[in-house]
């Protein structure tokens, strides 16, 4: 991770196809494109690879979340349960539709705690958004059981976890809706891009129309298409899709490299007393994009991150103090900061997160480090990195 580390001839070939045709838009201009339909090809390839009946590409992972929620009719005043540890796009997509983000604690999986989810459900709850952070997943069986019990939708935000599986099925294909991100730092990249996955025909039909100004996409005359409902512009370009098409063909190789590098590093840290690895639910296999582990205390985790940086071990994230990924620094959400007036439903229903108690999340995230697994390391670099990490962590824990 990320896929741009290994850009090569496959990506150049796909992009040159688009440039040679001169058609950069995914819709229309049929006669000019020399039969090159990169977005359609990538959607078909993703559908097969991810064992999902329908895939629709959009401009980003954030767009994918927004379109997925909209496709299921989520709107003003509806509540969407999401974790305290995620990227800000999770609540941005919810608020964009006038819905209410309900933050819920994570557990030792670093994803939604099913017990906390159960306690957060109200008559207004519509969706449980399970975010597969840092390449791994929540207990999806437990979350699905809650959805079945209460008549809720399960949305998988698999933006950081493409290639991971649960009970033999690809993440993103398990819930009612799934979302991927293909931004520049994801395991496979389009530069910018995302995808909505679903087995529900109605949601798919809504998604591809909503993401293109409500166009119905019937026939081959774009100017004659009708608009069954309001939509917006979340289209992907042919250039972005072309890069993604090449990258998807290499996904298995990328995951294999990540797993090899991850395993070397994990084995080096396994012998250190006081290092606890994140929990992966039974039947789950992560995509090995991060090695995530806990130190005995918040203080030691902070010391470890600083010491690893001083030892030139880059890419080890302490999310507890991160501006983008943990609720503690989401002041714009907490203080309802917006360029324009927020919808009344949001102002009235958004919980007061300044007073919320997420100490259960703090217990895990405050002691966590997540170390990026790169594709471009040589075997020597991986072993040296593992050795250095083990020495640093051993010294930090022994000196406590």
Instruction: Kindly list the catalytic residues.
Output: 186
- Cα end-to-end span (Å), the chain: 33
Residues 163, 135, 394: CA angle, nearest 5 degrees? 135
Q: Which residues have C-beta within 8 Å of that of residue 333, sequence separation ≥ 6? A: 88, 91, 101, 327, 353
**Nearest residue to 251 via CA among 324, 319, 172:** 172
In Å, the largest CA–CA distance within the chain is: 72
CA 38, 40, 43, 48 torsion: positive or negative?
negative
Burial category of 293 from C-beta neighbours within 10 Å (exposed 0-12, middle 13-18, buried 19 and up): buried
Q: How far apart are CA 210 and CA 248, in angstroms?
A: 25
Any bridge partners for residue 169, and if so which? 166
93 sits in which H/E element: helix 89-96
CB 120, CB 108: distance < 8 Å: no
Any bridge partners for residue 362, and if so which? none
CB 127, CB 152: distance < 8 Å: yes
* Torsion angle of the four alpha carbons 373, 374, 377, 383, in this order, in degrees rounded to the nearest 10: -10
Question: Using omega within 30 degrees of 0 as the cis cutoff, is the peptide bond preceding 2 cis?
Answer: yes
């Amino acid at each position: 991770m990320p896929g741009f580390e290994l850009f090569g001839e496959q990506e150049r070939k796909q992009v040159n196809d688009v440039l040679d045709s001169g058609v950069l838009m995914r819709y229309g201009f049929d006669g000019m494109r020399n039969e090159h339909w990169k977005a359609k090809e990538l959607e078909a390839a993703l559908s097969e690879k991810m064992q999902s009946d329908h895939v629709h590409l959009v401009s980003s992972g954030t767009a994918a979340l927004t379109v997925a929620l909209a496709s299921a009719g989520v709107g003003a005043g509806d509540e969407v349960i999401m974790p305290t540890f995620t990227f800000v796009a999770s609540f941005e997509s919810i608020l964009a539709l006038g819905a209410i983000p309900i933050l819920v604690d994570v557990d030792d999986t670093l994803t939604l705690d099913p017990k906390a989810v159960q306690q957060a459900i109200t008559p207004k709850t519509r969706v449980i958004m399970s975010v597969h952070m840092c390449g791994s997943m929540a207990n999806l069986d437990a979350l699905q059981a809650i959805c079945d019990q209460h008549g809720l939708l399960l949305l998988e935000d698999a933006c950081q976890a493409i290639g991971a599986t649960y009970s033999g099925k690809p993440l993103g294909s398990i819930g009612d809706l799934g979302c991927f991100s293909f931004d520049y730092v994801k395991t496979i990249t389009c530069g910018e891009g995302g995808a909505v996955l679903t087995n529900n025909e109605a949601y798919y039909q809504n998604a591809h129309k909503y993401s293109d100004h409500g166009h119905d996409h019937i026939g081959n005359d774009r100017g004659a298409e009708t608009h069954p409902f309001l939509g917006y512009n979340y289209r992907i370009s042919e250039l972005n899709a072309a890069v993604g098409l090449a990258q998807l063909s290499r996904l298995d190789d990328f995951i294999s490299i990540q797993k090899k590098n991850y395993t070397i590093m994990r084995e080096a840290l396994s012998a250190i007393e006081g290092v606890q690895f994140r929990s992966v639910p039974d039947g789950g296999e992560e995509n090995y994009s991060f090695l995530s582990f806990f130190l005995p205390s918040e203080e030691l985790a902070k010391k470890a991150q600083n010491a690893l940086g001083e030892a030139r071990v880059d890419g080890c994230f302490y999310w507890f103090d991160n501006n983008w990924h943990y609720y503690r620094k989401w002041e714009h959400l907490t203080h309802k900061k917006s360029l324009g007036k927020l919808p009344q439903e949001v102002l009235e229903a958004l919980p007061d997160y300044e007073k919320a108690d997420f100490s259960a999340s703090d217990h895990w995230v405050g002691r966590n480090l997540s170390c990026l697994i790169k594709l471009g390391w040589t075997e020597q670099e991986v072993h040296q990195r593992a050795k250095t990490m083990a020495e640093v962590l051993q010294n930090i824990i022994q000196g406590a």
